[in-house]
Amino acid sequence: MDRRVVVTGVGLITPLGTGKDTTWSGLCAGESGIGEITRFDTAGFNTRIAGEVKDFKATDFLSKKEAKRTEPFIAYAVAASKMAIEDAGLVIDASNEARIGVLTGCGLGGLSMLELTARTVETKGPNRVSPFFIPMLIGNMAPGMISIICGAKGPNASVATACAAGAHAVGDAFNLIKHGQADAMITGGVESVITQTCIAGFNAMKALSTRNEDPQHASRPFDRDRDGFVVGEGSGILILEALDHALERGSKIYAEMAGYGMSGDGYHMTSPCPDGDGAIRCMKAALDYAGIQPADVDYINAHGTSTPLNDLYESRAIKALFGESAYNVPISSTKSMTGHLLGGAGGIETAFTTLAIHEGIIPPTINFENPGEECDLDYVPNQAREKELTYAMTNSFGFGGTNASLILKKYTD
């Protein structure tokens, strides 16, 4: 089978707010979701800022019993899935449950539960460990709980490919539907690791911004004065459906999935290739899958982490593959507003790209004041831009040299 696949529902929980409309409004307005960390005492930490989810109540989406036994990353994924299902008007029942699956990406899973349990073992002994420790730790409990609570019994899996996980999940779900293994998929990414060990670990790598006195201007992709990324949290979930399935039930359609590319750098544990080789091959694979040329792309939602190397090398890769058209395509990094959701980034950024196509609005790259070295492309600085989009690409690149690119297009019948 080779079916067309469309996006019919979007659910978002981000540092800009809970819900698609709240997040999208903030994104288009160029708002920052970055602030001081409130989850733990940051005394002694080089970085004291992050993109926390601020207005979320797990009990709005889960029972009190479920919420008590659920790590934040699982609760975010379930909540975003419920919102996406409602947005799509998708009813899951005995007639279709085996043909609707769940596939999500997550980089680190229940890190806060791991920290808590390690302290419990050390201070109170092994017999005081919660029986829910393992279920609350593992990344695949996000799609597992989505399946249990929402009733989807089709393909069920979790992707753990660092910062490319959410995009890989969407791409894999796309292929499952395209080749007839499911009629619809609940898919995207999630992460919630604003914890002591996470911040300390990334600080040890000198990967995080230390602009603690000015958090809203800390994430500044492609800018000359960028000094590292900012950790964010949340979830972005999409409902993907076979076109015939969506049309049969009269669903609205946001956009159509068009292409998916993957590659491996084979270069370094954490640094991308200086010449952008892995990113180039990944983006080209997505273009080939979609059957289009670089000049056909109307917008790129960049990986754009705000780290010195990533922004430089991604810009090089785009210029190498797109040639002269690289200077004509608008490129933005929404991480400037949400921070970097790690394994959840590909989920929310695919949702943002979908909404950009549907609404005809390109979100900006905020905090872009002075172009960084070799960062001389159109990064849609500081203000959203109205533009009719036919094809749009979103990039996600992860530690270990794992890469994913997705292409979406405006739906036409």
- Predicted confidence pLDDT, tens digits, the chain (413 residues): 799 999 999 999 999 999 999 999 999 999 999 999 999 999 999 999 999 999 999 999 999 999 988 999 999 999 999 999 999 999 999 999 999 999 999 999 999 999 999 999 999 999 999 999 999 999 999 999 999 999 999 999 999 999 999 999 999 999 999 999 999 999 999 999 999 999 999 999 999 999 999 999 999 999 999 999 999 999 999 999 999 999 999 999 999 999 999 999 999 999 999 999 999 999 999 999 999 999 999 999 999 999 999 999 999 999 999 999 999 999 999 999 999 999 999 999 999 999 999 999 999 999 999 999 999 999 999 999 999 999 999 999 999 999 999 999 999 98
Q: Which of 168, 245, 340, 358 is catalytic?
A: 340
| pTM of this structure | 0.97
Residue 263: strand pairing partners: 403
* Residue 310 phi, psi (nearest 5): -60, -50
Domain ranges of the chain: 5-248, 261-406
pLDDT computed for residue 135 by the predictor? 93
Tell me if residue 236 falls in helix, strand or coil: strand
Tell how strand 5-14 and strand 17-18 pair up: antiparallel
pLDDT computed for residue 239 by the predictor? 98
Q: Which CATH architecture has domain 5-248?
A: 3-Layer(aba) Sandwich (3.40)
Closest-CA residue to 187 (of 124, 118, 257, 132): 257
Residues 6+ apart with CB under 8 A from 178: 1, 2, 3, 4, 5, 242, 257
Q: Do 5-248 and 261-406 agree at the fold level? A: yes
Residue 340 annotated in active site: yes
Q: Where are the alpha helices (DSSP H) in 55-193?
A: 64-68, 72-88, 111-124, 133-137, 141-150, 165-178
**CATH 3.40.47.10, applies to 261-406:** yes
Q: Which of 168, 245, 303, 358 is catalytic?
A: 303
Q: Which of 163, 198, 282, 375 is catalytic?
A: 163
pLDDT computed for residue 230 by the predictor? 98
152, 104 contact by CB (below 8 A):
no
Tell me if residue 388 falls in helix, strand or coil: coil
